[in-house]
Structure 1
Amino acid sequence: MKKNILILFLFLPFVCFAQKVTYGDNSVRIEGKTFLYFDAEGNPITDQAHRDSLETHRYIISIKGTDEIPEIHLVYKHPKLETLIGKILPKIDLNDINGKSIDFDESEYTVICFWNRHCRICIRELVVLDILAEDYSNVQFVGLTPDSPEEVHKLMKRLKLEWEDIEIVPNYNEEFTDILKIYMYPSNIIVDKNMVVKAVNVGGDTRKLLRTLEQLSGEK
Structure 2
Amino acid sequence: MRITLFYQLLLGLLLALSTIENLALGQQKKPTIVFVDPNISIQKWIGKKMPIFRLQDKQGNVYDNKSILGKVTVFNLWSIHCHPCIVEFPMLNGLVGKYSKDNIIFLAPAPESSEQINNAISVDSFNYTVLPDAQSFFDIMGLVGYPYHILVDRNGFIRYIHMGIKNRKSGKEIAITELPQVIEHELNEKEAEQK
Which range, TM-score by smaller chain? Answer: 0.5 to 0.7
2:179 maps to 1:209: yes
Q: Tell me which residue corresponds to 1:186.
A: 147
Give the equivalent residue in structure 2 for 1:197: 158
- 1:144 — aligned with what? 109
Letter in structure 2 aligned against 1:198: R
1:171 equivalent to 2:171? Answer: no
TM-score with structure 1 setting the length: 0.57
Counterparts of residues 110-121 of structure 1 (less than 5 Å): 110-121=73-84
Counterpart contact for 1:156–1:162, Cα < 8 Å: yes
User: 2:97 matched to 1:134?
Assistant: yes
What is the CA RMSD across the aligned residues, in angstroms?
Answer: 2.8
Q: How does 1:46-125 map to 2 (within 5 A)?
A: 78-79=39-40, 82-102=43-63, 104-105=67-68, 108-125=71-88
Corresponding pairs, count: 144
TM-score under structure 2 normalisation? Answer: 0.63
**Residue in 2 aligned with 1:11?**
none
CA contact (8 A) 1:90 1:195 kept: no
Query: Contact 1:78 / 1:181 at 8 angstroms: preserved in 2?
Result: no
Partner amino acid, structure 1, of 2:111: P
8 Å contact 1:133–1:166 — kept in the other structure? yes
Change (3 A) 1:90 1:82: closer
- 8 Å CA contact retained: 1:96, 1:170: yes
Does structure 1 retain, via aligned residues, the 8 Å contact 2:113–2:132? yes
Q: Percent identity?
A: 25
From the two aligned structures, give the one with the greater strand fraction.
1
Q: Which has the higher contact order (CA 8 A, sep 6+)?
A: 2
Report if aligned partners of 1:86, 1:198 keep a CA contact under 8 Å in 2: yes
For residues 92 and 83 of structure 1, what CA distance do their matches in structure 2 show? 17
- CA drift of 1:92 comes to 2.4
| 1:106/1:124 CA distance change after superposition, 3 Å | farther
Distance 1:184 1:133 in 2: 23
* Structure 2 letter corresponding to 1:127: P
When residues 176 and 192 of structure 1 are mapped into structure 2, their CA distance, relative to the original with a 3 A threshold, is farther
Residue in structure 2 matched with residue 36 of structure 1 by the alignment: none
